[in-house]
Chains A and B, each alone.
Chain A
Amino acid sequence: MQDRIKYWKGIEELNNTPEFAKHAHNEFPEFLPLDEAKGEGSTSNGKTQRRDFLKLLGFSMAAVSLASCEAPVRKAIPYLNKPVDVEPGVANWYASTYYLNGDYNSILVKTREGRPIKIEPNPSSSVTPYGTSSRAQASVLGVYDNNRLRFPLIKGKEAKWEEVDKQIASRLASVNGKVAIVSSTIISPSTKQLIDEFGARFGNFEHVVYDANSASALLAANGGVFPGYDFSKANVIVSIGADFLGTWGAPVPFAKQYIQNRKIDADNPEMSRHYQFETILSMTGGNADVRVPIKPSEEAAVVTAIYNAITGGGSTSAKIGDGKALAAAIRDLQANRGKALVVSGSNDPAVQAMVASINRALGAEGTTIDSASPYFVKQGNDAQMIRLINEMNAGSVGAIFFYNSNPAYDHPLAEKVIAGLKKVALKVSFAERVDETAVLADFVTPDNHYLESWNDFEPKRGFLSISQPVISPIFTTRQMQDSLLKWSGNSTNFYEYIRNNWRKVATGDFNKFWEKAVHDGVLENGSSMLKVAPSTVAVSTTVRNIKPAGIEAVLYEKVGIGSGSEANNPWLQELPDPISKATWGNYVAMPIAMAKEMEVVQGDVLAVTLPTGQTFELPALIQPGQANGTVAIAMGYGRSLEAGPVANGLGANAFQIANVIDNTVAYSSPVSLKKTGATSPIAQTQTHHTIMDRLVVQENTLTNYKANPKEVTEYIRIATHEGPAKPAAISLWDDYEYKNHHWGMVIDLNSCIGCGSCTISCNVENNIPVVGKAEVLNRREMHWMRIDRYYSAVEHEEKDYATMENPAENPSVIFQPMLCQHCNHAPCETVCPVAATMHSSEGINQMVYNRCVGTRYCANNCPYKVRRFNWFAYANNEKFNFNEPMNNDLGKMVLNPDVTVRGRGVMEKCSFCVQRVQLGKLEAKRENRRPKDGEIVTACAQSCPTEAIIFGDMKDPESRISRVLARQKGERAFHVLEELNVQPNVTYLTKIRNLA
Chain B
Amino acid sequence: MQHVSPIREPLVTGGKTYHDITNDVCRQVEAKPNARWAAALAVSLVGLAIFIYSCYRTLWYGIGEWGLNKTVGWAWDITNFVWWVGIGHAGTLISAILLLFRQKWRTSINRAAEAMTIFAVICAAMFPVLHMGRPWLAYWVLPLPNTFGSLWVNFNSPLLWDVFAISTYFSVSLVFWYIGLIPDFATIRDRATGPIARRAYSVLSFGWTGSAKAWSRYETVSLILAGLATPLVLSVHTIVSFDFATSVIPGWHTTIFPPYFVAGAIFSGFAMVLTLMIITRKTFHLEHYITLEHVESMNKVIILTGSIVGIAYTTEFFIAWYSGVEYEQYAFINRAFGPYWWAYWSMMTCNVITPQLFWFRKIRRSLTATFIISIFVNIGMWFERFVIIVTSLHRDYLPSSWAMFSPTMIDIGVYVGTIGLFFTLFFLFAKFFPVVNMAEVKAILKSSSGVKHHPHKTMHGTEKELNTNPHHSNE
Interface residues of B in 380-417 (CB under 8 A from A): 393, 395-404
A835 contacts B73, CB within 8 Å? no
Tell me, in angstroms, the Cα distance from A874 to B401 when the chains sit together: 22
Known: A833-B160, A857-B157, A873-B62. A865 touches B133 (CB 8 A): no
Which residues on B sit within 8 Å (CB–CB) of A855? 128, 131-133, 159
A827 contacts B400, CB within 8 Å? no
Q: Which residue of B lies closest to A689 (CB)?
A: B399
Which residues on B sit within 8 Å (CB–CB) of A856? 68, 73-74, 131, 133
Q: Which residue of B lies closest to A696 (CB)?
A: B398
Which residues on B sit within 8 Å (CB–CB) of A980? 248
Which among A831, A832, A864, A873 has the greatest number of chain B C-beta atoms within 10 A?
A831
Tell me, in angstroms, the Cα distance from A779 to B133 when the chains sit together: 17
Q: Which residue of B lies closest to A805 (CB)?
A: B399
A834 contacts B153, CB within 8 Å? yes
Which residues on A sit within 8 Å (CB–CB) of B70? 779-781, 859, 865, 867-869
Known: A827-B248, A868-B70. A790 touches B400 (CB 8 A): yes
B132 contacts A830, CB within 8 Å? no
Known: A690-B399, A856-B68. A905 touches B133 (CB 8 A): yes
Q: Does B63 interact with chain A (Cβ within 8 Å)?
A: yes
B400 contacts A778, CB within 8 Å? no
Which residues on A sit within 8 Å (CB–CB) of B158? 831
B132 contacts A686, CB within 8 Å? no
- B321 CB to nearest A CB, Å: 11
- B253 CB to nearest A CB, Å: 10
Which residues on A sit within 8 Å (CB–CB) of B327? 694
- B270 CB to nearest A CB, Å: 30
Q: Which residue of B lies closest to A904 (CB)?
A: B62
Known: A686-B400, A860-B73, A863-B397. A851 touches B140 (CB 8 A): yes
Which among A687, A833, A861, A907 has the greatest number of chain B C-beta atoms within 10 A?
A833
Task: Provide the A764-781 mask, 1 if CB < 8 A to any CB of B, else 0.
Answer: 000000000001001111
Tell me, in angstroms, the Cα distance from A732 to B360 when the chains sit together: 50
Interface residues of A in 423-463 (CB under 8 A from B): none
- The residue that B398 contacts in the complex, of A831, A865, A867, A906, with Cβ under 8 A, is A865
A853 contacts B62, CB within 8 Å? no
A687 contacts B402, CB within 8 Å? yes
Tell me, in angstroms, the Cα distance from A867 to B160 when the chains sit together: 21
Interface residues of A in 831-875 (CB under 8 A from B): 831-835, 851-857, 859-861, 863-865, 867-873
Q: Does A977 interact with chain B (Cβ within 8 Å)?
A: yes
Q: Does B71 interact with chain A (Cβ within 8 Å)?
A: yes
- The residue that A871 contacts in the complex, of B68, B152, B157, B404, with Cβ under 8 A, is B68
B133 contacts A853, CB within 8 Å? yes
Q: Does A691 interact with chain B (Cβ within 8 Å)?
A: yes
Q: Which residue of A lies closest to B248 (CB)?
A: A827
Q: Does A365 interact with chain B (Cβ within 8 Å)?
A: no
B247 contacts A861, CB within 8 Å? yes
Known: A818-B398, A831-B158. A851 touches B151 (CB 8 A): yes
B141 contacts A834, CB within 8 Å? yes
B330 contacts A801, CB within 8 Å? yes
- A853 CB to nearest B CB, Å: 5
- A531 CB to nearest B CB, Å: 49
B400 contacts A871, CB within 8 Å? no
Tell me, in angstroms, the Cα distance from A863 to B63 when the chains sit together: 22
Q: Which residue of A lies closest to B152 (CB)?
A: A835
Which residues on B sit within 8 Å (CB–CB) of A907? 133
A696 contacts B247, CB within 8 Å? no
B397 contacts A977, CB within 8 Å? yes
Tell me, in angstroms, the Cα distance from A977 to B401 when the chains sit together: 14
- The residue that A854 contacts in the complex, of B132, B326, B404, with Cβ under 8 A, is B132
Known: A780-B64, A834-B140, A865-B71. A692 touches B133 (CB 8 A): no
Query: What bracket does the count of chain B residues touching chain A fall in?
Result: 35 or more
- The residue that A905 contacts in the complex, of B63, B73, B153, B401, with Cβ under 8 A, is B63
A778 contacts B67, CB within 8 Å? yes
Q: Does A982 interact with chain B (Cβ within 8 Å)?
A: yes
Which residues on B sit within 8 Å (CB–CB) of A778? 64, 67, 69
Which among B135, B138, B247 has the greatest number of chain A C-beta atoms within 10 A?
B247
- A976 CB to nearest B CB, Å: 8
Q: Which residue of B lies closest to A775 (CB)?
A: B64
Q: Which residue of B lies closest to A581 (CB)?
A: B400
Known: A688-B402, A856-B68, A860-B247. A832 touches B134 (CB 8 A): no
Tell me, in angstroms, the Cα distance from A801 to B336 when the chains sit together: 12
Which residues on A sit within 8 Å (CB–CB) of B132? 853-855, 905
Q: Does B7 interact with chain A (Cβ within 8 Å)?
A: no
- A720 CB to nearest B CB, Å: 14
B71 contacts A779, CB within 8 Å? yes
Q: Does B333 interact with chain A (Cβ within 8 Å)?
A: yes
Q: Which residue of B lies closest to A905 (CB)?
A: B133
Q: Does A802 interact with chain B (Cβ within 8 Å)?
A: yes
- B201 CB to nearest A CB, Å: 41
- The residue that B337 contacts in the complex, of A802, A905, A982, with Cβ under 8 A, is A802
B248 contacts A853, CB within 8 Å? no
Q: Does A256 interact with chain B (Cβ within 8 Å)?
A: no
Q: Does A339 interact with chain B (Cβ within 8 Å)?
A: no
Which among B63, B71, B153, B404 has the greatest number of chain A C-beta atoms within 10 A?
B63
Q: Does B249 interact with chain A (Cβ within 8 Å)?
A: yes
- The residue that B397 contacts in the complex, of A802, A864, A870, A873, with Cβ under 8 A, is A864
Q: Does B137 interact with chain A (Cβ within 8 Å)?
A: yes
Q: Which residue of B lies closest to A979 (CB)?
A: B325
Which among B141, B395, B400 has the greatest number of chain A C-beta atoms within 10 A?
B400
Task: Provide the B238-272 mask, 1 if CB < 8 A to any CB of A, else 0.
Answer: 00000100111100000000000000000000000
Which residues on A sit within 8 Å (CB–CB) of B141? 833-834, 853
Which residues on B sit within 8 Å (CB–CB) of A694? 326-327, 397, 399
Q: Which residue of B lies closest to A781 (CB)?
A: B70
Which residues on B sit within 8 Å (CB–CB) of A871? 62-64, 68
- B99 CB to nearest A CB, Å: 34
Q: Does A788 interact with chain B (Cβ within 8 Å)?
A: yes
Q: Does B193 interact with chain A (Cβ within 8 Å)?
A: no
Q: Does B101 interact with chain A (Cβ within 8 Å)?
A: no
Known: A854-B132, A870-B133. A905 touches B248 (CB 8 A): no
A830 contacts B156, CB within 8 Å? yes
Which residues on B sit within 8 Å (CB–CB) of A859? 70, 73
Which among A801, A818, A853 has the greatest number of chain B C-beta atoms within 10 A?
A853
Q: Does A789 interact with chain B (Cβ within 8 Å)?
A: yes
Q: Which residue of A lies closest to B329 (CB)?
A: A799
Which residues on A sit within 8 Å (CB–CB) of B249? 860-861, 863
A830 contacts B399, CB within 8 Å? no
Which residues on B sit within 8 Å (CB–CB) of A857? 73-74, 157, 159, 243
Which residues on A sit within 8 Å (CB–CB) of B68? 856, 869, 871
Which among B156, B163, B246, B399 has the greatest number of chain A C-beta atoms within 10 A?
B399
- A668 CB to nearest B CB, Å: 31
B396 contacts A865, CB within 8 Å? yes
Which among B152, B329, B330 has the greatest number of chain A C-beta atoms within 10 A?
B330
Which residues in B have some Cβ–Cβ distance to A below 8 Å? Answer: 61-64, 67-71, 73-74, 128, 131-135, 137-138, 140-141, 151-154, 156-160, 163, 243, 246-249, 326-327, 329-330, 333-334, 337, 393, 395-404
24 contacts between A and B (CB under 8 A): A687-B403, A688-B399, A689-B399, A781-B70, A801-B330, A816-B400, A831-B246, A832-B154, A851-B140, A851-B151, A853-B132, A853-B133, A853-B137, A854-B132, A856-B74, A856-B133, A860-B73, A860-B247, A863-B397, A869-B70, A869-B73, A871-B64, A905-B132, A906-B133
Besides A691-B399, A857-B73, 14 more A-B contacts (Cβ < 8 Å) are A778-B69, A788-B398, A788-B400, A790-B400, A833-B154, A834-B153, A835-B152, A853-B132, A853-B137, A856-B74, A857-B74, A860-B73, A860-B74, A872-B62
